[in-house]
Amino acid sequence: MSSWIPTVRCNNDKCLAGKVIFLPYPSHLGKSLSQPDWPTDTWSRAIACPWCGHLYEYREHDVQWGQDGIQNPLPQNDFVRVLLLCDQENCGTPLEVFFPSIIHSTKESLQSDLRHLAETETCPKGHHLPTPIHIASAEAWRED
C-alpha cells in the first residue's frame, strides 16, 4: 500500500531550485489505496518556499497529490508555524506564516527570512510589516 504525499508548487516563476513544496498533513490519514479527502475547501496557508524564500498564499485547489514514488529531498514535512502581529497604527492583525522546519534549524535562519518578508509582505489589512518584526509565537507544526 502506498502513502499519499501532498505538495504545492512555488508560484515564483524564478524559483529554479525545486518548485515543489512538500506539505505536512494529518498523520491519521496514513496509507490508503485512495487519495485522502484532505484538505478541506476552507484550507489556506501562507507558505514560504524552502528553495527561494518567497511567500505565497495556497488554497485547497493548489494541493497536488502524488504517491510515495515522489522523491522528497527533505527528510520530513514538518513546518514551523510563526504568528506575526502587525503593530502599525495599533493594528494587531495576525499574520500566520509557515516555513519548512528543515530549513530553519536555528532562530537566526528564521529571522533572516522574516527580514525578507518585511520587505515584501503586508498584513491582511494592507500595512507593510515594520522591522524588526514582532513574533507573537513560533512552534513546530503538523496538520491535525
CB-CB neighbours of 5 under 10 Å:
18
CA distance 117 to 100: 15
- Structural domain boundaries, residue 30: 4-141
36-45, 46-55, 104-113: which range is least confident on average? 104-113
CA distance 132 to 130: 6
User: Across-strand partners of 44?
Assistant: 59
Which strand ranges, in their side-by-side order, compose the sheet holding 135-141? 55-59, 44-48, 94-100, 79-85, 135-141
Give tens-digit pLDDT for 45-97: 888 888 787 888 899 999 998 776 555 444 456 788 888 888 777 888 888 88
pLDDT score for 136:
80
Model confidence, pTM: 0.73
pLDDT score for 14:
87
Banded model confidence at residue 4, pLDDT cuts 50, 70, 90:
confident
pLDDT score for 39:
87
User: Across-strand partners of 3?
Assistant: 31
- Coil vs helix vs strand at 24: coil
**Residue predicted with more confidence, 108 or 123:** 123
Strands (E), the chain: 4-9, 20-22, 44-48, 55-59, 64-67, 79-85, 94-100, 135-141
- Domains: count for the chain: 1
pLDDT score for 65:
86
Cell digits of residue 144: 491535525
